[in-house]
Amino acid sequence: MSGLPLAGGRVSPYRAVLASRVRAQRSYRTGFALDLFGSLLIGVTEFAEVWVIFHNVEVLGGLDFHAILVLFGLSNLAFSLADLLVGHLDTLPTYVRAGTLDAFYLRPQPLLAQLVTSEVDLRRISRIGVAGTALVSGLVLEDVSYGPRELTLLAIAIVFGTAIFAGLFVCAASLQFFLINGSELTNSFTYGGSYAAQQPTAIFPRPLKLLFGYLIPVAFTAYLPTLALLGLPGPAGLPAWLAWLTPVAAGWVWLVGMLLWRWGTRHYQVGGG
Amino acid sequence: MGTYLKLFRAGFSRQANYRLAMVAGLATNVVFGFIRAAILFAALDSAGGSLGGYTKGSISAYVWLSQGLLGAIDLSGRAEIGERIRTGDVAIDFTRPVDLQTWHLSEDMGRAAYTFIPRGLPSVLIGALTFGLSMPTTVLPYVLGFISIAIGIAIAFYCRFAVNALGFWLLDTRGARTVYMVTSTFLAGLYVPVSLFPGWLQTVALATPFPSMLQVPINVISGKDTGTDALLLVLMQLCWLAVTCAAGQLLTRAGRHKLVVQGG
């Protein structure tokens, strides 16, 4: 064992696992190509849904099609980046049911860090591509003048938007400890959150506006940054300047996530131990 | 026939064991229903009150019926047969004195029938209470509607069965299942009604069995299409039912020849 993980410091075990996962995915070329195609198709279809709506209307929730491209691009970019990094936390119930989670407890690293680095799902890359394309097209078509302010806003939105979705995946995984057969429930705020994030929050009735604006703050991932970037006013209760507070929203999601995670792991009883 | 009826009952009661899963499914259905209703209401307002022949009441009926039916009409690419083919258990299934496809269909219809109670009806009820929806006031659309729903469930099953039967030839059907799920949900009219598609895309959709799974049953039971139109829609469904059933039968038969069982 000497010379292996410990010598390389704290991060090298994680790096070794991740590198092996990347190699594993690349070695089944046909399967990987199909997965990439499937993921591309998911991205394209999500976009087609938006496009079909705009085939029928000019404006939705105060945004025109070019603005919707920015909104769609930002929300999907953040979500698919988070999905790439931590989306596999969704498989936690499988580990719990099969008892294989116990093996993770035996290793001298934090459980969450191990689970996060246990996989990196490279097929999401094509969805990231679709989102990036939509974002860039929207930004070019909207004719915004790009200064330091705009670039900072974009960077904040992408980095902390990803953090918000990643935090939601952690919240979802924590609840899985209690809901082994009810894992679909947590889809309502991971996938549901992503679906809500790509809509102009202004279209929602008041309770949903508060839900997606503050409690599960997905409006911060794309809608508010889009408003701030394009210089549009927000609806009542969600002014555009809130876009600068996206890091705070991410902090809130992670605070809840970490509390739920502690609660969940304490609830979990190792089988046969 | 008695065997299949028993399998139907078994499918029904097996589903009844997953109470928490049902509650979870309902909650997710409702959240997505709220978001979808908000989008289509906003689009309706933006279009000036009429959108592809829909009004507020009928678009709301479309949203909540589709959310409610989503438990019963399974548009995912998953089917139990896929796992049995992968593990090789299907070899034992072939020795049983029942038709493989009809056996799984009976169980799936039982599963679907049960989901109406904890998922279907509550979804529609919640939609009616929160967003309001317009439904027909005569009996006929409901009678024809339930027939249409039953056919829709069966078509959705036959397609999933066929996709999973590809497992006789493919080592891993995950890619095929993903492609199937994405295509089916979009073309069945789950996110946007098919009548809002641009003309050419409607033609593409109607050349597939997908609208017959979800959009058609919704149009029939919500009374959007009535009289001869409704009957023609159900007739179209019956054609797709025959086609998708035949596809599954052929694939199963071909797969059976392909199957190599160790030691025999």
Cβ(A54)–Cβ(A68) below 8 Å: yes
Tokens of A148: 């330091």
Q: Is B51 helix (H, G, I), strand (E, B) or coil?
A: strand
- CA–CA dist B111, B102 (Å, integer): 14
Q: Is A249 helix (H, G, I), strand (E, B) or coil?
A: helix
Q: Is B207 on the interface with A (CB under 8 A)?
A: no
Closest residue of chain B to A212, computed from CA coordinates: B35
Amino acid in the structure at residue B231: L
pLDDT score recorded for residue B263: 55
Closest residue of chain B to A50, computed from CA coordinates: B192
Taking each helix axis as running N to C, give the angle between helix B100-115 and helix B2-15, from 0 to 180 degrees, rounded to the nearest 10. Answer: 40
Confidence of residue A266 (pLDDT cuts 50, 70, 90): confident
Mutate to test the interface with A, among B192, B201, B202 (most CBs of A within 10 A): B192
Q: What is the DSSP-derived secondary structure letter of residue B77?
A: S
Q: Is A182 on the interface with B (CB under 8 A)?
A: yes
Min CA distance, A268 vs chain B (Å)?
A: 18
CA atoms within 13 A on the CB side of B251: 23
Percent of chain B residues past pLDDT 90, beyond the cut: 65
Q: Is the CB of B175 less than 8 angstroms away from the CB of A204?
A: no
Min CA distance, A138 vs chain B (Å)?
A: 20
- CA–CA dist B181, B188 (Å, integer): 10
Q: Is A59 helix (H, G, I), strand (E, B) or coil?
A: strand
Amino acid in the structure at residue A192: G
Q: Is B24 on the interface with A (CB under 8 A)?
A: yes
- CA–CA dist A261, A175 (Å, integer): 8
State pLDDT tens for residues B100-139.
999 999 999 999 999 888 889 999 999 999 988 889 999 9
H helices of chain A, in order, are 12-27, 29-56, 65-86, 92-98, 101-105, 111-116, 125-142, 148-176, 184-197, 206-210, 223-230, 246-267
Cβ(B154)–Cβ(A18) below 8 Å: no
- With tokens 């979009």, the residue in question is B186
Residues of chain A positioned with their CB less than 8 A from the CB of B185: 45
Measured torsion, CA atoms of residues A233, A236, A238, A240, in degrees rounded to the nearest 10: 10
Which CA distances in Å does A67 have to A83, A161, A215, A243, B119?
24, 18, 25, 16, 36
- With tokens 């929730």, the residue in question is A61
State pLDDT tens for residues B69-102.
988 999 988 898 999 998 888 988 888 888 999 9
Q: Which residues contact A67 (CB under 8 A, 6 or more apart)?
A: A138, A142, A226, A230, A232
The answer to whether ipTM exceeds 0.90 is: no
Q: Is B254 on the interface with A (CB under 8 A)?
A: no
State pLDDT tens for residues A65-81.
999 999 999 999 999 99
Scanning A34-93 for CB atoms below 8 A from B yields 34-35, 37-39, 41-42, 45, 48-49, 52-53, 55-61
Residues of chain A positioned with their CB less than 8 A from the CB of B28: 184-185, 187-188, 192
Q: Is the CB of B28 less than 8 angstroms away from the CB of A196?
A: no
- Across the interface, of A34, A45, A188, the residue whose CB is closest to B175 is A34
What's the whole-model pTM score?
A: 0.88
Between A16 and B194, the higher pLDDT residue? B194
pLDDT of A94 strictly over 90: no
pLDDT score recorded for residue A8: 56
